[in-house]
Chain A
Amino acid sequence: MADQNSQHTSFADQVRAIPGGEHIEDCYACGTCVSTCMIQQKKEPRFNPRRLLRMVMMDMRQEAFESPTTWLCSACDLCYSACPQEIHISSVIGAVKELAVEAGYESPLETVSVDEELCSGCGVCAMACPYEAPRLVEKGTNGNTKRISEVNANACMGCGICVGACPMGAIARPGVSNQDVRAQISLPETNGNPRMAVFVCDWALRVDADVALLESYPENVNIIHIPCTGRIDPEMALQALDTGFDGVLVCGCAVDECHFQRGSFVSSFKIKLLNQVLDQVEMDFGRIRFIKIGTQDRGRIRSEVDDMLEHLAAWKETS
């Protein structure tokens, strides 16, 4: 019989001890989680939740801590809703990440940073973040203490929801700062066709065919890639109209499938508010539109873009 007084705790026991990490042994390696996960298909081919669970069971501590699976999961829980063993995989990954941070490992992701001069300490970023990465701290600069936001780099997933939320423009990360997004906007030459800006989130179009389809539109459709629609600032949409675009289409994940949990919900709400404001000043002509693409909506992007273009053409004729 095994020595019951053994002091050695296995990696699996450590993971199990963290809330959410309990059911790792239920995995029978069917691969459903991998097939639903967007990260493996879009960002990192080595990303594989099933294998991380296996590493935990086999006591492969170091490999697990170094695995991209530990760090890239954004807890969208597409895998959880499909898992036949009802394992809350993102919690297990979270538990492994917690142990990895304890062991001194650091997130390889490029995370946001706060401009301490600009930050007013309002705390909107802390409320907006799905991962509780920013929090308010008292910090001394030049002899004055000031309440500012500080970002936990190991918790931040780099979605940019806080960037879109910050009223001061104090948070940014390379690739999602206001300038970087604006750099993608370029007003095409018009040949009579309506000009449209399409803000598309990196995760909304699951299949490569749909991404290629969107890219294949002629010049008058300007595609702007953002990590999450939560990054959108209503001002950005208005600016696009101001520069000369006839319409703006924001394309995000279905609300319950958002890659960053609540980005799609937040931005759909923002656009709705914007439309209401435009309606009050009698300027709402359906020129700004938010669409939600679910994981099973293969090919829907074509009909949505065509529909919007038609709408804009009709609007141009009447105005």
Chain B
Amino acid sequence: MVDASRHPKVDVRTYTEVERVEGFVGNFKAQLREKARFVFEDRCNGCGDCAEVCPIEVPNYFELNIAPRKAIDVAMSQSVPLVYNIDMDSCIECYQCVEACGELDAIDFSMDDKLVWEDIGAIVIATGFNHFDPSAMSEYGYGRFPNVITAMEMERLNNSAGPTGGNLIRPSDGKNPESIAIINCVGSRDKRFNPSCSNFCCMYAIKNAVLLKQAYPDMDLSVYYIDIRTPSKGYEEFYDRARKLGIRFIQGRPGLITEDPETQNVYVHSEDRDLGRVTEREYDMVMLNQAAIPQPDADTISSVLNITQSPGGWFMEYHPKLRPLDTPTDGIFLAGACQGPKDIPSSVAQGAGAAARAGRVVHSEEWEIEPTVAVVWEDRCISAEGKKCGVCVRACPYGSILYEEGEAPEIVTAKCHGCGGCVAECPHNAITQLHFTDAQILAQIQTLLADKPEEKILAFRCHWCSYGGADLAGVSHFEYSANERGLRVMCSARMDADFIYEAFRLGAGAVLFSGCHPQDCHYITGQRVGAQRAKRMLKQFDRVGMTSGRFRIEWISAAEGDKYARVVNEMQDVLDSIPEEELREEIEKLKPYMEKRARRMREVPQIEEAASFVEKIALVHGTQDPAST
């Protein structure tokens, strides 16, 4: 940290929050709130005279409230930069600190928060994680039994720079503990709180046990665990070493902790799975290894930066295997535990990787994007004619469409990822997607349904999930109906209602609308846009009397080849169950309806339109500034 702060090209801003971020990759603008310290950074030399005279003591957040801090103080002695700040919530404004500061004159009580705008090329999020509060688990008595403490509190108590100067004492009576139990998986692997594994606690438990055993060789140390997970290099050897040091590892998650009201010793009740019976063991102290949870302000960060979160609240990576450092928004990268619980080596590796990814943005003259971007056909947009619309804006998962009433929307090409949601949603066909124009897709539909359409199952597959699912069904040799005809678009959001009307107008036997599962969507919320549309259509088709099962919505991931085959086979069964005559009758009966709904689409001069867009996109690219450096 000190090295970074001294580097001529690194600008460290502590005590500063990001309020707003606008723009796109290479051209972000961020509004920062530099919070008032009430101390001038350039004048304070960190001598600490002010803290010495300050009469106010409040719980010290950094020491987990075990020790006090003054109203004017530094967060920790290693703070960078070493500048004191005043906690105005507790300051009584006696001004003794101003006197103590004397000639330096670094304290200014009239300071205010400052809002500044900065140009930024790329953003790396490294906001870390928070700890689960075990007082929610009444069975462990944390908060009621003084000698049940958390891992972080143990860290401070056993730290030579901590409040006790490294003298390990127990909270109830200040006695040096002779026996300590360490309990793993407190709030993690627990469906009541956090169902996932917190990744590093096993090693953390072993580390703390070894540290304690080395400092106090006679100490009785037990680690209670469900499974010990030592998956990285050297970890298993470390676990071996801990066992050789005489640390007891007891397989069995304690269900209860009780306390002797007189001695305040703690009893851990657990099943010892190796003994096959319940044990009740007495300890001087218990340390709870809490789960890692996302930072409490993760939601704020995700809305400020327009990035997504996984179900647990961690920031979502673009792709779990292939792009683990990127977010769905170009130019924003993830480092460390904000993306999911991870230990120090993995965080360092991810940080270095994220920095390299960010460097690539900052040092590029140009930024390549997918060529399948959306382009607006201004002549046809009703908004340009002064009518209210804005449907496209709501469909865009990336906020890449700038829209003002009375004008045609403008698509920020650098932010567009090419899902095609706006294209399909636009009620006037005023937007098209390059390489996936309506004309191209309609031509495919017409070709696929040219021969005996009533026997065919037309399957719309999204590029990232259900296309992969169909592919997997193929390579895994799962047999499915040969009447299936697949058609690839980038996202289920692009599966225009008109395509489905057109397919049924042409007499398709059945149509499958398939895409990613909601949480897997490659385009953040593209699936939702598609799903809403498909559900609406399903209701319409029900109303006009279509046999149920001829139009089907399914979410199939790239790993679900078996599901893809099963769904297609089930659709074939539906078709087989309708007598040929009846099916033909139904198709004929519904034709006028489909004709009416799909007419507008077929009247559009599609091919010429596409050609003129090619010129247009060149223009867009030309006017776009390359990434700032």
A binding-site residues for B, Cβ under 8 Å = 28-37, 40-41, 45, 48, 50, 78-79, 81-82, 84-86, 206-207, 295-300, 303
Are B253 and A299 in touch, CB under 8 angstroms? no
B267: interface (CB < 8 Å): yes
> Which residues in chain B, 83-141, are within 8 Å of chain A measured between CB atoms?
138-139, 141
Interfacial chain B residues near A40, Cβ < 8 Å:
277-278
A81: min CB distance to chain B, Å: 8
CB–CB B270/A31 < 8 A: yes
Q: Which of B139, B271, B280 has the most CB of A within 10 A?
A: B271
A86 to B273 Cα, complex, angstroms: 20
Contact: B253 with A31, CB < 8 Å? Answer: yes
Once the chains bind, are B191 and A82 in contact (CB under 8 Å)? Answer: no
A28 & B278 in contact (Cβ 8 Å cutoff): no
Partner of B255, one of A36, A45, A86: A36
Q: Which residues of A contact B418 (CB under 8 A)?
A: none
Decide: A85 near B191, CB < 8 A? Known: A29-B273, A30-B226, A35-B271.
yes
Chain B residues closer than 8 Å to A78, beta-carbon distance: 255
Task: Say yes or no: is B17 at the interface (Cβ < 8 Å to chain A).
Answer: no
Q: Does B192 contact A (CB under 8 A)?
A: yes
Interface contact A82-B255, CB-CB below 8 Å = yes
- Asked if residues A41 and B278 are in contact (CB atoms below 8 Å), the reply is yes
A32 to B, closest residue via Cβ: B255
Q: Which residues of the other chain, B, contact A36 by a CB distance below 8 angstroms?
A: 139, 255-256, 269
Q: Which residues of B sit under 8 angstroms from A33, Cβ to Cβ? A: 255
User: Which residue of B has the minimal Cβ distance to A82?
Assistant: B255
A300 to B259 alpha-carbon distance, docked (Å):
10
Asked if A31 contacts B259 (CB within 8 A), the reply is: no
- A296 engages B252 (CB within 8 Å): no
A35 and B256 form a contact (CB under 8 A): yes
B185 touches A84 (CB 8 A): yes
- Please determine whether A84 and B260 come into contact, CB atoms closer than 8 angstroms: no
B264 vs chain A, min Cβ distance (A): 10
Q: Quick check: is B189 within 8 A (CB to CB) of the other chain?
A: yes
Contact with A along B238-273 (1 / 0, CB 8 A): 000000000000011111111111100001011101
Residues of A within 8 A of B276 (CB): 48
Contacts of B138 in A (CB 8 A): 296
Closest 4 CB pairs of A and B: A31-B271, A35-B255, A36-B255, A84-B190
Complex Cα spacing A40 to B275, Å: 14
Beyond the given A50-B271, A78-B255, could you list 18 further A-B residue pairs with CB under 8 A, ordered by the A residue number?
A28-B189, A28-B227, A29-B273, A30-B185, A30-B189, A31-B270, A31-B271, A31-B273, A32-B253, A32-B254, A35-B252, A35-B255, A85-B191, A295-B258, A296-B139, A296-B257, A298-B258, A298-B267
How many of chain B's residues have a CB under 8 angstroms from any CB in A?
31
Tell me whether A84 and B258 are in contact (CB under 8 A): no
Complex: chain B residue closest to A36, CB-CB: B255
Contact B269 A35 (CB under 8 A): yes
Q: Is the CB of B270 within 8 A of A35?
A: yes
Contacts of A37 in B (CB 8 A): 278
Chain B residues with Cβ below 8 Å from A303 are: 261
Q: Which residue of A lies closest to B271 (CB)?
A: A31
Q: Which residue on A lies nearest to B269, using beta carbons?
A: A35
Establish whether residues A207 and B258, one from each chain, have CB atoms under 8 Å apart when the complex forms: yes
CA distance A95 to B230 in the complex (A): 37
Inside 8 A of B252's CB, which chain A residues have their CB? 30-31, 34-35
Chain A minimum-CB-distance residue to B262: A299
Can you offer 20 A-B residue contacts whose CB atoms are under 8 A?
A31-B255, A34-B252, A34-B255, A35-B252, A35-B255, A35-B256, A37-B278, A41-B278, A79-B255, A82-B255, A84-B185, A84-B189, A86-B192, A206-B258, A207-B267, A296-B139, A296-B141, A296-B256, A297-B258, A298-B258
Q: Provide the bound-state CA to CA distance between A216 and B185, in Å.
A: 39
- Nearest residue (CB) in B for A299 is B261
Residues of A within 8 A of B278 (CB): 34-35, 37, 40-41
- Decide if B255 touches A300 in the complex (CB within 8 Å): no
How many whole Å from B480's CB to the nearest CB in chain A?
14
Residues of B303-326 whose CB lies within 8 A of A: none
CA distance A28 to B270 in the complex (A): 15
A212 to chain B, nearest CB (A): 13
Minimum CB–CB distance from A21 to chain B (whole Å) comes to: 18
Residues of chain B having any CB pair with chain A under 8 Å: 138-139, 141, 185, 189-192, 226-227, 251-262, 267, 269-271, 273, 276-278, 280
Closest Cβ–Cβ distance, residue B522 to chain A (whole Å): 30
B205 to chain A: closest CB distance in Å? Answer: 15
A86 to B195, CA, bound (A): 10
List, in ascending order, chain B residues with CB within 8 A of A300's CB. Answer: 261
Cα separation A50 to B255 with both chains bound (whole Å): 13
Closest residue to A33 on the B side, CB-wise? Answer: B255
Q: Please, how many angstroms separate the alpha-carbon atoms of A31 and B224 in the complex?
A: 11
Query: Which residue of B138, B185, B255, B259 has the most chain A CB atoms within 10 A of its CB atom?
Result: B255
Q: Out of B226, B256, B277, which one reaches A82, CB within 8 Å? A: B256
Distance to closest chain B CB from A41 (angstroms): 6
**Do A35 and B254 contact each other (CB < 8 Å), given the known contacts A207-B280, A298-B259?**
yes
Complex-state Cα separation, A78 to B255, whole angstroms: 9
Quick one: which of B260, B269, B270 contacts A299, CB cutoff 8 A?
B260
B23 to chain A, nearest CB (A): 44
Bound-state Cα–Cα, A45 to B227, Å: 24
Chain B residues whose C-beta falls within 8 Å of the C-beta of A296 in the assembled complex: 138-139, 141, 256-259
Which B residue's beta carbon lies closest to that of A81? B139
Name which residue of chain B comes closest to A40, CB basis.
B278
Residue contact B271 to A34, C-beta cutoff 8 Å: yes
Given the complex, which residues of A lie within 8 Å of B191, measured CB to CB?
84-86
In the complex, chain B residues whose CB is within 8 Å of the CB of A41: 278
Closest to A86 in B: B191
Chain B residue with the shortest CB-CB distance to A45 = B277
Q: Which residue of B lies closest to A209 (CB)?
A: B260
Q: How far is the CB of A93 from chain B (nearest CB, A)?
A: 17
* C-alpha spacing A13/B277, complex, angstroms: 29
Q: Give complex CA distance A49, B259 in Å.
A: 26
Inside 8 A of A298's CB, which chain B residues have their CB?
Answer: 258-261, 267
Residues on A with C-beta less than 8 A from B277 are 40, 45
List chain A residues, Cβ under 8 A from B256. 35-36, 82, 295-296
Q: Are the CB atoms of B259 and A30 closer together than 8 Å?
A: no
Min CB distance A45 to B, Å, is 6
In the bound complex, what is the Cα–Cα distance between A267 and B385 (angstroms)? 79
State how many angstroms separate the Cβ of B255 from the closest Cβ of chain A: 4
CB-defined contacts of A84 to chain B, threshold 8 Å? 185, 189-192, 253
State A6–B255 Cα separation when bound (angstroms).
Answer: 40
B139 neighbours in A (Cβ, 8 Å) = 36, 81-82, 296
A163 CA / B252 CA spacing, docked (Å): 39
A207, B262: Cα distance in complex, Å:
15
Which B-chain residue is minimally distant from A295 (CB atoms)? B256
Residue with the greatest number of chain A CB neighbours at <10 A, chosen from B227, B256, B262: B256
CA distance A38 to B276 in the complex (A): 15
CB distance from A52 to the nearest CB of B (A): 14
Give the chain A neighbours of B192 by CB distance below 8 A: 84, 86
Q: How far is the CB of B27 from chain A (nearest CB, A)?
A: 47
Q: In this complex, what residue of B is CB-closest to A34?
A: B271
- Chain A's nearest CB lies how many Å from the CB of B510? 23
Q: Which residue of A lies closest to B139 (CB)?
A: A82
Q: Which residues of A contact B259 (CB under 8 A)?
A: 296, 298
- Which residues from A are CB-within-8-Å of B190? 84
Contacting residues, chain A, for B267 (C-beta < 8 A): 207, 298
**Shortest beta-carbon distance from A296 to chain B in Å:** 5
Contact between A30 and B253, CB atoms less than 8 A apart: yes
Expressed in whole angstroms, the Cα–Cα distance for A98 and B139 within the complex equals 31
Residue on A nearest B259 in the bound complex, by CB: A298
Question: Which residues of A sit under 8 angstroms from B185, Cβ to Cβ?
Answer: 30, 84
Task: Name the B residues within 8 Å of A297 (CB-CB).
Answer: 258
A residues in contact with B255, CB < 8 Å: 31-36, 78-79, 82
Report A-chain residues with C-beta under 8 Å of the C-beta of B257: 296
Residues of chain B within 8 A of A48, CB atoms compared: 276
Q: How distant is the Cα of A85 from the Cα of B195 in the complex, in angstroms?
A: 8
CA distance A297 to B267 in the complex (A): 12
Q: Considering the chains assembled together, what is the distance between the CA atoms of A84 and B193 in angstroms?
A: 8
